[in-house]
Chains A and B, each alone.
Chain A
Amino acid sequence: MRQDFSPPAPGRMPHHSFRRFFLPLFAIMVLMLVALAPQQASAFSDEQLRQNAEQLNAKSSTKKLDVIEKMAADGDPRVAAILEAMLDGDLYASKADDKVVIGKKQGKVWQHIDVVSGAVTGESGSADLDKIRINNRLRGALRDALATLNLFSPDLAIRRAAVETVMDTRDPAMAPLLQRAIERESNPDLLARMELAKATMALAAGETSQERLDAIDILASQTTPQIRAVLLQFVNAAEAENYDPKVVAAAKDAVASVESRLKMWQTGGDVYRGISLGSVLLLAAVGLAITFGVMGVINMAHGEMIMIGAYTTYAVQQAFLVFWPAGIGWSLAVAVPVAFLVSGGVGVVVERLIIRFLYGRPLETLLATWGLSLFLQQAIRSIFGASNRQVVAPDFMSGAIEFSTGLVLTYNRLWIILFSLIVVGGIAAVLRYTAFGLQMRAVTQNRRMAGSVGIRTGYVDALTFGLGSGIAGIAGVALSQIDNVSPNLGQGYIIDSFMVVVFGGVGNLWGTVLGAFSLGIVNKFLEPVAGAVLAKIFVLVALILFIQKRPKGLFALKGRAVEA
């Protein structure tokens, strides 16, 4: 679980209180000193930079601290390189001329790099260089300084990260720098973010009620857990220190409004996670919807067809690694048809060898296919071993879209949602528009009649079962991305898949779709309330009760035709 930073208890000094109170003082002193010199824009002149850098070699660390603060407060991009070198222990004073240089080891000698120009000015052995020593206090100061300096980095990403650091620490000493960064920032997004950071600081540092109210006003429009925490912290402090009641009330309102919007996002996140789970259930169940729903065959080995699909993905990737390592990104695309053919082929063989002898005896089919599932599991275990196999995710499936509100949409889940819809759409199209689909429906409705108009019912049976199994194989390709590829992979899905099909109504593809998504969403909505295991138990119990109420599922066919 991610721990939000909690507000410090009232009356307890944060451990870095020293800097909190004294650094601003130093900064002001330094600024007063510097103010004597004409301060054009914010960059040092070469000469100023060199002078400051030389002072880093001062004897006392307090003096060094002063200089670091001074340099950091300026925001010259070149300062960062110097301070970084100092932090890394690469800043030296040359013994020959007492100049401060950055030392870089090249083989056995050290190159001297000029702090201003960055050019190599000479080289020497280590004996000629004196390291500029730093202690922990200086290290801390250097890190802070560097973080702030990043606000002026030419690289947008670094600036963005720096703003986040500022936002997290909310050190009032940084306020002037932030102000300067705001003046120079051109990227509107980042600018808004900086204004926000300024407001959080203003909230902490604000003196008058009006300042605080203004800050609250800005923050109240935000929707992130971070801002909620900032506001909550402020409310605590405000109550403890008896701020203006108007301010307290406004802060509380702000918390409430942020809270309510976060709730909505939370709900949205639950829906998304539910849809994501639903798409997994759908992929696992849709093949079953064909074998069970259309043919009335209880295929307990359905999970193993999924498992075979996942192992096919693994095998395809291994083949890529041997024959075409560069094309590994294509392996999933290739695995989809291959897995369809492998699992589908196994399905056809199984139908011809076992299932066809058991039509009309669903309970016996259930037992035989259960036996088959044990057989297939052990077969895979004997071939590939019992441990998990690693399936590589292609680039387009790794990573995530992150929202500031805390919602994270991972690409692999998004792809699986999309993929499940494509698969269902494809099946619906096959059933509806192809000759095979027509024959399949004909055999389902009236086997004898279909036979007498010339449909080879045996072939249709085998192909239908093959189709259901093949789709399970495709599901295996997708599930290999989010689950462990092990011989037990299928076991985890079989009960859920049956639940989805039964819930949605047997023989109805759209029922399966709706069943999968509603079960997924209900599950994810229960999870935050009850915990993952209890949520699952609730869903199972609810399903058992639901079947009592509607024994034939959500979209049951009614009437005489079904009773036979």
Chain B
Amino acid sequence: MSTAEELLSEESRMIQSEKAATILYVDGVSVTFDGFRALNNLSFYVEPGELRAIIGPNGAGKTTMMDIITGKTRPDSGDVLFKSEVDLTKLDEADIANLGIGRKFQKPTVFESHTVFDNLLLACSGGRGVFQALFHRLGNREKQRIEETLATIRLGDARETLAANLSHGQKQWLEIGMLLMQEPQLLLVDEPVAGMTDSETEQTAILLREIAKTRSVVVVEHDMEFVRDLDCKVTVLHEGSVLAEGRLDSVQKDPRVIEVYLGR
């Protein structure tokens, strides 16, 4: 059960009136690991239905940012609000996932000992309780949804294949498929095309654009061609805070961005 109502604080009500439309609102977030400042007063927001790319050099804090949004890491300071009202810094991974935030890891992470079908079944939205799982029966609606997703991620023929035996690209797609099964409102995708062939990369871009029609998607990526394919607003992170934001063309002309990427 969501505890969203209880978490609605006075402060977030005010923010709600200002930024009524945001699905993800990150404000002044800082976090330090053993003296190393991974995030430094990071602020940005994502609107519902938006597709956003986040780029930045190694160590810019991209993955840490994702860790904080999904509850893996707690920030030292700052606010992270989902749909302008739920304080994500107080919840853990499972709560946040059940609120409707899905996350894809940098390294494709699927359940290797399970078939593709079972992978999607496990991700299928619905009861997450221990006893619900113990006495769960596969329903027709679930089956139908799984089939639909299998078609979307083009793994229909690999239904009964163990995930361990999929190719790298197929695993990436399976993971995206699992995220879709969770029916998230916000998708965080970490380097989805790492290790993919060119055509796979193109198709992934198409897939993500398709997904972004019905939900918000944040993509962290290094590959500039892929980001260009996504054709969306870009946020550049550097040393734990936002360096520039805008269309890719304008961002690429920003002298500070050029210095960070090419200088030194």
Contact present between A and B (CB < 8 A): yes
Q: Is the CB of B34 within 8 A of A558?
A: yes
For the complex, give the distance between the alpha carbons of A557 and B34 in Å: 7
Instruction: Please give, as numbers and ranges, the residues of chain A lying within 8 Å of B38 by CB-CB distance.
Output: 559-560
Contact B64–A560 (Cβ < 8 Å)? yes
A559–B63 Cα gap in the complex (Å)? 11
Could you say which residues of chain A place their CB within 8 Å of the CB of B63? 560
- B131 close to A (CB within 8 Å): no
Which of under 10, 10 to 19, 20 to 34, or 35 or more describes the interface residues of B?
under 10
Q: Is B135 an interface residue (CB 8 A)?
A: no
Cβ–Cβ < 8 Å partners of B33 in chain A:
558-560
Residues of A within 8 A of B34 (CB): 557-559
Q: State the CA gap A558–B73 with chains docked (Å).
A: 10
Which of B33, B38, B63, B64 neighbours the largest number of chain A CB atoms within 10 Å of its CB?
B33
Instruction: Give the size category of A's interface with B.
Output: under 10
Smallest Cβ-Cβ distance to A564: which chain B residue: B107
Task: Please name the residue on chain B nearest to A561 by beta carbon.
Answer: B33
Q: How many angstroms from the CA of A560 to the CA of B33 in the assembled complex?
A: 9
- Chain B contacts for A559, CB-based, 8 A: 33-34, 36, 38
Proximity string of chain B (63-83) to chain A, C-beta cutoff 8 Å, 1 when within and 0 when not = 110000000000000000000
Question: Closest residue of chain A to B31, judged by CB?
Answer: A559
**Whole-angstrom CA separation of A559 from B34 in the bound complex:** 8
Q: How far is the CA of A559 from the CA of B39 in the complex (A)?
A: 12
Bound complex: CA of A558 vs CA of B74, how far in Å?
12
**In the complex, what residue of chain B is closest to A559 when comparing beta carbons?**
B33
Q: How far is the CA of A536 from the CA of B34 in the complex (A)?
A: 33
Interface residues of A in 114-149 (CB under 8 A from B): none
Minimum CB–CB distance from B37 to chain A (whole Å) comes to: 11
CA distance A557 to B33 in the complex (A): 8
Please, how many angstroms separate the alpha-carbon atoms of A560 and B36 in the complex?
Answer: 11
Docked Cα-Cα span, A511 to B234, in Å, equals: 44
The distance in angstroms between the C-alpha atoms of A557 and B35, with both chains bound, is 11
B57-106 residues at the A interface, CB under 8 angstroms: 63-64
Within 8 A of B (CB), among A510-564: 557-560
Q: Mark B28-56, 1 if CB is under 8 A from A, else 0.
A: 00000110101000000000000000000
Nearest CB of chain A from residue B152's CB, rounded to whole Å:
31
**A557 CA to B36 CA, complexed, in Å:** 12
Q: Which residue of B lies closest to A562 (CB)?
A: B33
Task: Determine how close the nearest CB of chain B comes to the CB of A28; give it in whole angstroms.
Answer: 83
> In the docked arrangement, what's the CA distance between A558 and B31, Å?
11
A559→B64 CA distance, assembly (Å): 9
Which residues of chain B are within 8 angstroms of A557 by Cβ–Cβ distance? 34
* Distance, CA A198 to CA B63, complexed state (A): 80
Question: How many whole Å from A446's CB to the nearest CB in chain B?
Answer: 14
In the bound complex, what is the Cα–Cα distance between A215 and B34 (angstroms)?
62
- Whole-angstrom distance from the CB of A15 to the nearest CB of chain B? 73
Bound Cα distance from A558 to B37, whole angstroms: 12
**Residues of B with C-beta under 8 A to A558:** 33-34
Using Cβ atoms and an 8 Å threshold, which residues of chain A touch B36?
Answer: 559
A514–B63 Cα gap in the complex (Å)?
Answer: 34
For A560, list chain B residues within 8 Å (CB).
33, 38, 63-64
Complex CA distance for A519 and B65, rounded to whole angstroms: 38
Minimum CB distance partner of B33 in chain A: A559
Distance between Cα atoms of A558 and B38 in the complex (Å): 12
Query: What's the least CB distance linking B185 to chain A, in Å?
Result: 27
Per-residue CB contact flags for chain B residues 117-138 toward chain A (1 = under 8 Å, else 0) read 0000000000000000000000
Output the nearest chain B residue to A556 by Cβ-Cβ distance: B34
Q: Give A558 to B64 CA distance when docked, in angstroms.
A: 12
* Neighbouring A residues of B64 by C-beta, 8 Å: 560
CA distance A559 to B240 in the complex (A): 14
A559 to B38, CA, bound (A): 9
Residue of B nearest to A557 (CB): B34
Cα distance, A73 to B197, chains bound together (Å) = 111
| Distance of B187 from chain A, by nearest CB (Å) | 22
Min CB gap A563→B, angstroms: 9
A-B contact pairs, 11 of them (CB 8 A): A557-B34, A558-B33, A558-B34, A559-B33, A559-B34, A559-B36, A559-B38, A560-B33, A560-B38, A560-B63, A560-B64
| 9 additional contacts (CB under 8 A) given A558-B33, A560-B33 | A557-B34, A558-B34, A559-B33, A559-B34, A559-B36, A559-B38, A560-B38, A560-B63, A560-B64
Interface residues of B (CB under 8 A from A): 33-34, 36, 38, 63-64
